[in-house]
């Protein structure tokens, strides 16, 4: 990473150039309007390169370059002149101390390469000087013992710092105490930024940047613009190898990273110590020499390392606190923005939180507060059951009548903690279902009207069909009554049409009271044969019933009239589908055991026709569904309801094989 100082007074062009350079290479760019604004960091050697973006070729550009060169003798200086500037301007700038002069329009790639070439040629930073005053080993050991005792006390005291909530003030207070005890000339602590509020720590996308969190003994403008990074230098070294690192001396290995040497030199540091939280490295502490000029012993640095570890734990706790506060604010903002009412009740039956919606629902728009006593008795009782007794309460509906009727769906959600004892915290959610209920009622009323209209049309059609032959005979009655054929035709029409009207009447009655309880014990075969005879009479023509039984004679507990009518409708449907000749109904009786130790009677019915089509079988028992031109489509609907009222079931299915049945009826056998 290259630290670049950008000098330009063009506020519009600076951001675009910063973005272009950052995308072309690894630059850490700091923008200033003039050299005077960055004289301190330049003198401290905080930058590897300086880029002047000149808007004119005036003499003050040369003066600014000369000032930058005077402040930092080894820095790489590049000047970009506007289009049309001549070689004279270029010569003046080179004479003033510029390393390279470029012209607009600017090639960002070439500029980045030029800056990289110039900074790579720069001489490595000078090694940290040896302490000017020497001390004898005996004197150092004596001082180390005294300081070790003080540091032990400070380390014990630092454990209370884990309760601090502002990590920046905590860090600043920490280095003040450390300087007071150890006698440091300067110290700077670089920490990664805290996690974004209301987001868990794992959501941080970039923690490579290590800005200065607190510093003593360093210029303020240097602290503002100088930072470490995990990508290079001290940040990278102590992240990969979290060990105490001393600054290189004249006798140090020449293989040491020059970036590390430069950062030590800029900060005036002698020792770099990782700041960790016992899990990972959070930052770096750079310590200068003693105010008295003495050296650090290994024991002292080890104690400082542990102190910084306590600081890392405190910083981590501070971040977690801010995340918790942010999450709480976010949670409150979300709940307050909901149209669903939300209220939280604590273990002491006090309202901990109530959003705007539930206050409007229960206390009115003019109120800003909601108490537990403001809740309706029904809702308060449910909350009490959850909070005090730990019960699970199903969602329920609550209706208010004044000043305007409203209908709410209420849910009480326990907010349990693992292994927590009662009473507990609970949350109440109120959803306004007033409009939904009104829409449901309107839909039901509309559906009922459609159903009534459909019934009226179907029955009017069938009754009209029954009245046609009767009306025709009535018109011919006076003229034809003396003829035997007319009298026979009249008798047949009266018998057939009255039976049809009677059947419709029975269907409507059974539709209204199909749940009559089974109270009689009746032979099944008797019901089957009597129902078949009535069905054959309705359908007209010849037909046969074949009963195949694999069980002994069965006595069923049933409501005789309703069950007989159900089989009558089933048989009539089969006869009407069996064609005109050789109509036959086959009924097969079997028994199957059930999971509760009883047995079910299984009745399979098959007619002599082609059976149900695949698309009509699923809808055969729907009210008013029919594939014929006659009838209202209630026969199998009533049969299914009657059988279900007898704790049975009726299934209609198409034939997969020629021998398959058309309907399967299951009825419980008496014990």
What pLDDT is stored for residue 58 in this prediction?
A: 66
**Rounded to whole angstroms, how far apart are CA atoms 401 and 407?**
9
Low-confidence ranges of the chain (pLDDT < 70): 57-59, 122-164, 195-206, 250-256, 365-366, 402-403, 448, 451-452, 458, 507, 510-516, 578-581, 629-632
Q: Is residue 414 within 8 Å of residue 420, measured between CB atoms?
A: no
Strand partners, 345: 351, 426
For residue 475 the two structure tokens come to: 């018109």
User: Is residue 648 helix, strand or coil?
Assistant: coil
What pLDDT is stored for residue 127 in this prediction?
A: 42
In the chain, what are the domains? 2-121 (3.40.50.2300), 137-323 (3.30.450.40), 338-432 (3.30.450.20), 438-508 (1.10.287), 513-668 (3.30.565.10)
What pLDDT is stored for residue 154 in this prediction?
A: 62
Reported pTM: 0.49
Q: Is residue 133 within 8 Å of residue 185, measured between CB atoms?
A: no
Of the candidates 649, 571, 572, 652, the residue with the CA atom closest to the CA atom of residue 612: 652
**Rounded to whole angstroms, how far apart are CA atoms 162 and 171?**
11
Tokens 């039984």 locate to: 549
Q: Is residue 431 within 8 Å of residue 409, measured between CB atoms?
A: yes
Element (H, E) at 475: helix 434-480
Tokens 């300067």 locate to: 186
Rounded to 10 deg, the angle between the 484-512 and 434-480 helix axes is 160
What pLDDT is stored for residue 126 in this prediction?
A: 44
**Rounded to whole angstroms, how far apart are CA atoms 130 and 248?**
10
For residue 313 the two structure tokens come to: 């734990």
**Rounded to whole angstroms, how far apart are CA atoms 344 and 412?**
10
How many Å separate Cα 242 from the centre of its chain? 38
For residue 169 the two structure tokens come to: 């003030």
Three-state secondary structure string covering 73-84: CCCEEEEEECCC
3-state helix, strand, coil in the chain (%, to 5): 45, 20, 35
User: Is residue 541 helix, strand or coil?
Assistant: coil
499 exposure class (CB count in 10 Å sphere: 0-12, 13-18, 19+): middle
What pLDDT is stored for residue 215 in this prediction?
A: 93
**Rounded to whole angstroms, how far apart are CA atoms 46 and 4?**
9
What pLDDT is stored for residue 402 in this prediction?
A: 64
Give the contacts of 639 (CB within 8 A, at least 6 positions apart). Answer: 566, 567, 569, 570, 621, 650
Torsion of CA 220, 222, 228, 233, to 10 degrees: -140
Q: Is residue 601 within 8 Å of residue 666, measured between CB atoms?
A: yes
CA angle 630-635-638, nearest 5°? 150
**Rounded to whole angstroms, how far apart are CA atoms 279 and 478?**
112
What pLDDT is stored for residue 650 in this prediction?
A: 93
């Amino acid at each position: 990473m290259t630290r670049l100082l950008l000098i330009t007074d063009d506020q519009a062009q600076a951001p675009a150039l910063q973005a272009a350079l950052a995308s072309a290479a690894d630059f850490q760019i700091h923008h200033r309007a003039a050299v005077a604004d960055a004289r301190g960091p330049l003198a401290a050697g905080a930058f590897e390169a300086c880029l002047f973006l000149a808007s004119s070729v005036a003499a003050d550009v040369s003066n600014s370059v000369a000032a930058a060169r005077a402040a930092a003798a080894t820095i790489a200086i590049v000047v970009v002149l506007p289009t049309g500037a001549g070689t004279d301007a270029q010569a003046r700038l080179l004479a003033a101390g510029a390393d390279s002069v470029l012209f607009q329009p600017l090639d960002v790639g070439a500029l980045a390469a030029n800056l990289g070439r110039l900074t790579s040629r720069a001489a490595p930073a000078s090694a940290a000087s040896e302490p000017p005053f020497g001390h004898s080993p005996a004197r150092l050991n004596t001082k180390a013992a005294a300081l070790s005792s003080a540091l032990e006390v400070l380390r014990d005291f630092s454990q209370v710092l884990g309760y601090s909530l502002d990590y920046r003030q905590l860090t600043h207070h920490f280095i003040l105490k450390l300087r007071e005890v150890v006698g440091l000339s300067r110290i700077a602590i670089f920490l990664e930024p805290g996690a974004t509020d209301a987001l868990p720590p794992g959501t941080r996308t970039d923690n490579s940047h290590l800005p200065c969190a607190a510093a003593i003994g360093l210029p303020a403008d240097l602290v503002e613009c100088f930072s470490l990074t995990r990508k290079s230098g001290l940040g990278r070294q102590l992240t990969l190898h979290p060990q105490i690192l001393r600054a290189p001396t004249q006798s140090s290995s020449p293989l040491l990273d020059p970036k590390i040497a430069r950062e030590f030199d800029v900060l005036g540091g002698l020792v770099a110590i990782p700041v960790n939280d016992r899990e990972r490295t959070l930052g770096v502490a750079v310590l200068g020499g003693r105010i008295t000029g003495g050296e650090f012993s290994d024991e002292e640095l080890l104690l400082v390392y542990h102190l910084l570890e306590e600081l890392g734990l405190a910083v981590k706790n501070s971040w977690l606190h801010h995340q918790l506060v942010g999450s709480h604010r976010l949670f409150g903002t979300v709940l307050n923005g909901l149209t669903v009412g939300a209220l939280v009740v604590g273990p002491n039956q006090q309202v901990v939180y109530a959003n705007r919606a539930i206050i409007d629902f229960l206390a009115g728009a003019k109120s800003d507060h909601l108490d537990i006593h403001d809740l309706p008795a029904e809702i308060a009782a449910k909350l009490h059951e959850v909070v005090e007794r730990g019960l699970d309460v199903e969602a329920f509906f609550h209706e208010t009548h004044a000043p305007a009727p409203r209908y709410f769906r209420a849910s009480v959600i326990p907010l349990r903690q693992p292994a927590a004892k009662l009473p507990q915290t609970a949350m109440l959610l109120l959803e306004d279902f007033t409009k939904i209920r009104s829409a449901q009622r309107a839909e039901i009323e509309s559906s009922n009207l459609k159903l009534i209209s459909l019934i009226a049309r179907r029955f009017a059609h069938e009754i009209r069909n029954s009245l046609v032959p009767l009306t025709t005979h009535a018109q011919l009655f006076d003229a034809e009554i003396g003829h035997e054929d007319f009298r026979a035709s009249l008798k047949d029409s009266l018998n057939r049409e009255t039976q049809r009207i009677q059947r419709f009447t029975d269907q409507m009655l059974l539709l209204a009271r199909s749940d009559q309880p089974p109270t009689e014990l009746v032979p099944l075969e008797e019901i089957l044969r009597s129902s078949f005879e009535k069905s054959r009479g309705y359908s007209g023509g010849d037909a046969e019933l074949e009963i195949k039984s694999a069980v002994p004679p069965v006595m069923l507990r049933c409501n005789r009239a309703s069950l007989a009518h159900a089989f009558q409708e089933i048989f009539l449907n089969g006869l009407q589908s069996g064609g005109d000749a050789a109509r036959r109904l086959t009924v097969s009786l079997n028994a199957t055991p059930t999971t509760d130790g009883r047995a079910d009677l299984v009745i399979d019915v098959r007619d002599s026709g082609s059976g149900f089509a695949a698309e009509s079988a699923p809808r055969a028992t729907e009210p008013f569904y029919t594939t014929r031109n006659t009838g209202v489509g209630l026969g199998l609907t009533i049969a299914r309801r009657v059988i279900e009222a007898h704790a049975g079931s009726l299934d209609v299915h198409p034939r997969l094989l020629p021998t398959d049945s058309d309907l399967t009826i299951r009825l419980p056998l008496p014990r």
